[in-house]
Amino acid sequence: MNEDNGDFEPKIVGFLCNWCSYAGADLAGSSRLKYKPNVRVIRVMCSGRVDPLFVFKAFEKGADGVLIAGCHPGDCHYQCGNYKTMRRMHVMKKMLEQMGISPERLRLEWVSAAESTRFVNVVNDMTEKIKELGPSPLKEEVASNE
């Protein structure tokens, strides 16, 4: 599979919490760290704001992967929003599986406001992994329906 995906540039939607992960991504920028351009960020106040609807919508609209990033457990600006996300992850992955989408396409990561290098690693690693997985099967479906 790997060799076939040489030219494939995955589209990944990233939901970053305003306080930790978005700030971490900002720091990666001001530190001029370089990473792959495949993740497109949508800012939310808390990872707990990420309605499962958003995730499924993203896949429906052709995303190859979805990244949710929030504060580390215990560090949530809203005390426990990230724990709620953690619990939702399980259900969302199950549902994706039933939809024929590899649950690996959805990731939850903790990135603090200071962890710019961690953000870079997460983005690069996720891009790599999604590349290996190839385009989302849903995407092809969307395309063929059109």
**Binding footprint of another protein on the chain (CB under 8 A):** 11, 13, 18-20, 22-23, 25-26, 28-30, 32-35, 37, 40-46, 48-54, 57-58, 61-63, 71, 74-81, 84, 88, 112-115, 120
Is the Cβ of residue 29 or residue 100 nearer to another protein in the bound state?
A: 29
Q: How far is the CB of 59 from another protein (least distance, A)?
A: 10
Kindly state the tokens that stand for 145. Answer: 């329906």
Q: How far is the CB of 18 from another protein (least distance, A)?
A: 8
With respect to another protein, which residue has the nearer C-beta, 79 or 100? 79
List residues bridging with 107 in a β-sheet. 67
Q: Mapping DSSP to helix (H, G, I), strand (E, B) and coil, where does residue 76 land? A: coil
- Measured CA to CA, the distance from residue 71 to residue 76 in angstroms comes to 5
Q: What whole-number distance in Å separates Cα of residue 96 and Cα of residue 123?
A: 21
Shortest Å distance, C-beta 14 to another protein:
9
**How remote is the C-alpha of 119 from its chain's centroid?**
11
Task: For strands 39-44 and 12-17, give the pairing.
Answer: parallel
**Nearest residue (CB) to another protein, 5 versus 18:** 18
Helix (H) or strand (E) run with residue 65 in it: strand 65-70
Three-state SS for 62? Answer: coil
The residue (of 77 and 129) whose beta carbon lies closer to another protein is 77
What's the min distance (Å) between Cβ of 140 and another protein? 14
Query: Quick check: 16 and 112 in contact, CB under 8 A?
Result: no
Shortest distance in whole angstroms from residue 76 CB to another protein: 7
